């Protein structure tokens, strides 16, 4: 029986690592991305070399029409949707809240909050037993920032991740009797390229002394937590959170 998972933001970091580990576990992968075509193509080729199917799904998740088209393509090319890893996100240069513009707030909320909520919305339509489907799993990717608030850096990003935490709790209850499990992974300081977007590419190295384990996390370590939630071993878990933060 095929296992098909859609991973948003699969063109690098946690998304790409999750795609590779999931393929090794027997999943066919829908690789969503918005940019970095060359990078996501390399991920696709690695998955194909493992003997699994992998399709590219270019979409702007702040645009609902793009999301609708993405799910249609996934269904047409891979079949049933068994899982969504709701991972796509962005951030901007570190800043105090008093210097953050309304335009920046709109952009970060449209992708990190509204975009992820819409991806979950359409996953339900393709998973819910209420709609004649076989159920499935939604794994939201939040952040340790939802608990710390990221003062003096990006409170706006932290607020969007707080929205993902709330989405996880509410949606888990809402679809519990429709065959859908909804859980969340909250990474901390992970060594990925996203820090370059904040204007501080060396942020993790600079701040690792604050981590009890005294090192940055790896994308593969976050991916391993996601894969456990995808596994049958997590079939009695919903509305739960796994913090991959090195002890913070």
| Phi, psi angles (nearest 5°) of residue 240 | -105, 165
- Which 3 state secondary structure label does DSSP give 242? strand
State the Cα–Cα distance between residues 189 and 18, nearest whole angstrom: 17
List the structure tokens of 245. 């933060």
Q: Is residue 110 a contact partner of residue 89, using CB atoms and an 8 Å limit?
A: no
Residue entry with tokens 């690098």: 12
| CA–CA separation, 41 and 171 (whole Å) | 32
Q: Report phi then psi at 236, rounded to 5.
A: -115, 15
| Residue 83: both structure tokens together | 């899982």
Please check whether residue 241 is in contact with residue 233, taking contact to mean a CB–CB distance below 8 angstroms: no
Determine whether 122 is an active site residue.
Answer: no
Active-site position among 122, 126, 154, 157: 157
Find where tokens 């995808």 sit. 230
Burial 63-82 (b: 16+ CB within 10 A, else e): eeebbeebbebbeeebebbb
Structure tokens belonging to residue 159: 């607020």
β-partners of residue 57 are: 32
Catalytic residues, by residue number, are 157
């Amino acid at each position: 029986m095929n296992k098909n998972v859609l991973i948003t933001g699969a063109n690098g970091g946690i998304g790409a690592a999750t795609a590779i580990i999931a393929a090794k576990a027997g999943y066919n992968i829908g690789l969503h991305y918005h940019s970095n075509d060359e990078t996501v193509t390399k991920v696709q080729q690695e998955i194909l070399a493992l003997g699994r199917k992998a399709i590219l799904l270019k979409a702007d998740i702040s645009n609902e029409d793009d999301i609708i088209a993405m799910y249609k393509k996934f269904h047409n090319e891979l079949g049933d949707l068994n899982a969504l890893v709701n991972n796509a996100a962005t951030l901007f240069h570190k800043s105090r809240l008093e210097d953050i513009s309304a335009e920046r707030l709109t952009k970060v909320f449209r992708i990190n909050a509204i975009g992820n909520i819409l991806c979950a919305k359409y996953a339900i339509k393709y998973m819910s037993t209420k709609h004649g489907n076989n159920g499935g799993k939604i794994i939201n990717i939040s952040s340790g920032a939802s608990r710390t608030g990221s003062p003096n850096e990006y409170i706006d990003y932290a607020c969007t991740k707080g929205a993902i935490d709330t989405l996880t709790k509410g949606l888990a209850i809402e679809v519990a009797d429709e065959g859908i499990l909804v859980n969340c992974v909250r990474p901390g300081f992970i060594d990925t390229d996203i820090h370059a977007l904040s204007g501080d590419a060396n942020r993790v190295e600079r701040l690792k002394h604050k981590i009890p384990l005294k090192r940055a996390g790896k994308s593969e370590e976050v991916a391993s937590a996601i894969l456990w939630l995808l596994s049958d071993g997590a079939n009695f878990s919903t509305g739960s959170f796994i913090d991959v933060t090195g002890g913070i």
